């Protein structure tokens, strides 16, 4: 417990089952529960949330506000930039449907397994121009705005343009720049932006210094100018936004982006940008104890949480007790079963082979997987199952599946890299009184980012999430025009056909682990959205991470310091390698979860934002 006076906090009485006997305790939250009648805006930085609030005050809806927050956080390098990728779930109150937005970039021309193997690599690189897929965030923002927003691009980009002109840079960005200063110095455009004090003892910006990005400002102003010229010609709002879209992906911005990237050794071509497109999709879902939970499909890891919920439905979760030995063990095993399927079967659904998503989300398949859980021991050899037995078709990789364990172990020289495991992004949550809801997990172009010449746009590093060997995952093998299977995973849930919850978290492969526990905190343990966002989570590393060397560490388990020593000893006796805390934080393991709960009884919105990072919410 944090001593009184060190941090302002709100103390709330909550019944939390610490053991199977379900004793009661007091839970302290660092941040207050947000209450709003009209709207809620939450994202990774206070300035970003302010941009969303500003749009709401201008009369925009939740989609408008989410787009403004996306633009702002991309401009302030909140572990992403404009050349990254955007993926979202949108609830449309007019149709009562949840919609998926797929704005993940694709591998460029020439990006093949042979290309990278010839350079002596087991995976594509983690940084630089060769790590870049095509930019997705600009297109994702403009498509969302055009199709579901109400305001002009000029309105939405106004806060970001102000920030590009200069804003007081925050400590987190300064730390990232300082850590990466040697790498940033090798790319001229990146050096000019991130190391403004060339030749001085400290070349990086200081905390609170006005941080300027004139090239990015010019790019954003070009998009607005194109939109305004289109409106002056008589085009409607939507067509004018798409005119700006064309300028980014087919006009002078695209030409400069390609020139700078290829000059530095990258592969993106004008044709790659021209052919890339945003997909508006139907998300996948499952039904858990009266609640319909929605996720994006296999081009991200979203179905992992749905699979885990299907497995856990076969157990009395609440009866185990929150963070008891039995609870931690059962969730760890369920997550490992789901992640083992992710590591083998997930990939871009627009490329063959077709992912067996119907079988993966089958309740009967989940029951069969649940039966594999040993109640007394961790299974370090959990592998993917055969979902084809629960849908039409025959598993084309059955023999490969049987031989997989020996061929996909982590190399002995692959050192643990927790920063890669938690590779950053941000999250955006927005909802309004008309019923529009937006959950976004954008990412890519985090520091150290290669900035593409005079565009000011930092490119994605998502190429590293591909595999080069089909023995590892035949659905996610690198191919030009294909999307890598990413970690980014916004969530949304409906109850009795009405909005129940919108939620997301940053943190690479930890995302669906944190979101699963957050969801159970609310549904099984009756926490409110703020308590659930801050509650103590644990993490499994028994999966092939999606970054760097794609390592796997069977049995490694990170728990919060609040987990009793007795419980830790029990887990160690069950073949877990137990450690306390992540990133040096023993008491903050929830991940930066942002969420909105919909109080149907009172007709209000409740916002939650964990204390893990700088995430911040505003409600009215």
Looking at the predicted structure, is the pLDDT value of residue 400 above 60? yes
CA nearest to 66, candidates 427, 424, 425: 427
Average pLDDT over residues 323-329: 98
Strands 167-168 and 210-211: antiparallel
* Contact of 265 with 130, CB cutoff 8 Å: yes
Average pLDDT over residues 336-360: 97
Please give the Cα distance from 370 to 121 (Å, whole number).
37
Kindly report, residue by residue over 56-79, the tens digit of the pLDDT. Answer: 999 999 999 999 999 999 999 988
Tell me what pLDDT residue 8 has.
Answer: 35
Residue 515 has which token pair? 């979101």
Looking at the predicted structure, is the pLDDT value of residue 2 above 60? no
Angstrom CA distances, 601 to 498, 500, 543, stand at: 12, 11, 41
Percent of the chain surpassing pLDDT 90? 85
Whole-model pTM: value is 0.93
Average pLDDT over residues 327-348: 98
* Contact of 354 with 345, CB cutoff 8 Å: no
Encode 281-302: b = buried (16+ Cβ within 10 Å), e = exposed. bebbbbebeebbbbbbbbbbbb
Kindly report, residue by residue over 279-293, the tens digit of the pLDDT. Answer: 999 999 999 999 999
Looking at the predicted structure, is the pLDDT value of residue 4 above 80? no
> pLDDT-based confidence at 464, cuts 50/70/90?
very high
* Contact of 151 with 117, CB cutoff 8 Å: no
Tell me what pLDDT residue 423 has.
Answer: 56
Please give the Cα distance from 550 to 414 (Å, whole number).
9
Beta strands in 253-397 (DSSP E): 279-281, 284-288, 291-295
Tell me what pLDDT residue 51 has.
Answer: 98
**Residue 269 DSSP SS3:** coil
* Contact of 479 with 107, CB cutoff 8 Å: yes
Query: Which sequence spans correspond to the domains of the chain?
Result: 281-424+484-614
> pLDDT-based confidence at 478, cuts 50/70/90?
very high
Average pLDDT over residues 22-37: 73
For residues 419 and 600, which has the higher predicted lDDT (pLDDT)? 600
Q: Which CATH architecture has domain 281-424+484-614?
A: 4-Layer Sandwich (3.60)
Hunting for tokens 């409110």 — which residue is that?
528
Burial of 122 (0-12, 13-18, 19+ CB in 10 A): middle
Mean pLDDT lowest for which of 254-258, 386-390, 585-589?
585-589
Q: What are phi and psi of 436, to 5 degrees?
A: -70, 135
* Contact of 124 with 462, CB cutoff 8 Å: no
> pLDDT-based confidence at 589, cuts 50/70/90?
confident
> pLDDT-based confidence at 424, cuts 50/70/90?
low
* Helices 252-263 & 237-250 angle (0-180, nearest 10): 30
Tell me what pLDDT residue 1 has.
Answer: 32
For residues 126 and 25, which has the higher predicted lDDT (pLDDT)? 126
Average pLDDT over residues 216-220: 98
Looking at the predicted structure, is the pLDDT value of residue 404 above 70? no
Looking at the predicted structure, is the pLDDT value of residue 30 above 50? yes
Looking at the predicted structure, is the pLDDT value of residue 420 above 80? no
> pLDDT-based confidence at 110, cuts 50/70/90?
very high
Tell me what pLDDT residue 16 has.
Answer: 36
> pLDDT-based confidence at 402, cuts 50/70/90?
confident
């Amino acid at each position: 417990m944090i001593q009184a006076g060190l941090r302002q906090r709100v103390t709330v009485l909550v019944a939390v089952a610490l053991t199977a006997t379900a004793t009661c305790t007091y839970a302290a939250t660092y941040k207050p529960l947000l209450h709003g009648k009209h709207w809620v805006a939450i994202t990774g930085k206070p300035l970003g949330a302010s941009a969303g609030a500003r749009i709401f005050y201008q009369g925009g809806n939740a989609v408008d506000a989410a787009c403004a927050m996306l633009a702002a956080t991309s401009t302030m390098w909140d572990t992403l930039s404009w050349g990254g990728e955007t993926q979202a779930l949108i609830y449309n109150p007019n149709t009562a449907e949840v919609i998926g937005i797929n704005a993940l970039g694709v591998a460029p021309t020439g990006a093949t397994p042979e290309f990278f193997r010839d350079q002596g690599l087991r995976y594509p690189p983690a940084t630089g121009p060769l790590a870049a897929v095509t930019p997705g965030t600009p297109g994702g923002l403009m498509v969302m705005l055009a199709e579901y927003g109400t305001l002009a691009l000029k309105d939405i980009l106004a806060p970001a343009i102000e920030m590009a002109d200069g804003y007081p840079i925050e400590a987190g960005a300064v730390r990232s720049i300082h850590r990466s200063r040697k790498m940033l110095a090798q790319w001229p455009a990146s050096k000019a932006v991130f190391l403004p004090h060339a030749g001085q003892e400290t070349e990086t910006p200081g905390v609170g210094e006005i941080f300027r990005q004139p090239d990015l400002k010019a790019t954003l102003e070009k998009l607005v100018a194109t939109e305004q010229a289109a409106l002056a010609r008589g085009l409607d709002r939507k067509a004018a936004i798409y005119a700006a879209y064309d300028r980014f992906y087919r006009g002078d911005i695209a030409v400069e982006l390609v020139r700078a990237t290829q000059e530095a050794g990258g592969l993106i071509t004008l044709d790659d940008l021209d052919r890339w497109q945003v997909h508006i999709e139907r998300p996948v879902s499952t039904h858990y104890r009266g609640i319909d939970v929605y996720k994006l499909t296999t081009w991200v890891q979203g179905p992992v949480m749905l699979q885990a919920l299907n497995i856990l439905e076969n157990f009395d979760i609440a009866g185990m007790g929150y963070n008891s030995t039995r609870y931690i063990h059962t969730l760890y095993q369920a997550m490992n079963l789901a992640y083992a399927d992710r590591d083998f079967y997930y990939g871009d659904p627009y490329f063959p082979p077709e992912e067996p998503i119907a079988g993966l989300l089958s309740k009967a398949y989940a029951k069969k997987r649940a039966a594999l859980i040993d109640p007394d021991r961790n299974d370090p050899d959990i592998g993917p199952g055969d979902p084809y037995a629960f849908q039409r078709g025959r598993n084309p990789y059955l023999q490969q599946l049987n031989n997989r364990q020996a061929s996909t172990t982590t190399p002995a020289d692959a050192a643990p890299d927790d920063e890669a495991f938690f590779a950053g992004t941000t999250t955006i949550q927005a909802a309004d009184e008309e019923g529009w809801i937006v959950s976004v997990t954008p990412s890519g172009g985090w520091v150290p980012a290669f900035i593409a010449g005079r565009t000011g746009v930092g490119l994605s590093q998502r190429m590293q999430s591909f595999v080069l060997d089909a023995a590892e995952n035949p659905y996610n093998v690198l191919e030009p025009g294909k999307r890598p299977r990413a970690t980014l995973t916004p969530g949304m849930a409906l109850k009795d056909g009405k909005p129940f919850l919108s939620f997301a978290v940053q943190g690479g492969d930890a995302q669906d682990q944190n979101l699963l526990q957050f969801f159970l905190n609310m549904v099984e343990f009756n926490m409110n959205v703020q308590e659930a966002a801050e509650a103590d989570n644990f993490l499994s590393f028994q999966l092939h991470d999606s970054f760097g060397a794609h390592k796997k560490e069977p049995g490694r388990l990170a728990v919060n310091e609040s987990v009793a020593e007795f419980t830790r000893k029990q887990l160690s006796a069950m073949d877990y390698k137990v450690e306390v805390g992540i990133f040096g934080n023993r008491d903050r393991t929830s991940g930066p979860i942002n969420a909105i709960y919909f109080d149907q009884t009172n007709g209000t919105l409740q916002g939650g934002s964990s204390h893990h990072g700088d995430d911040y919410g505003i409600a009215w």
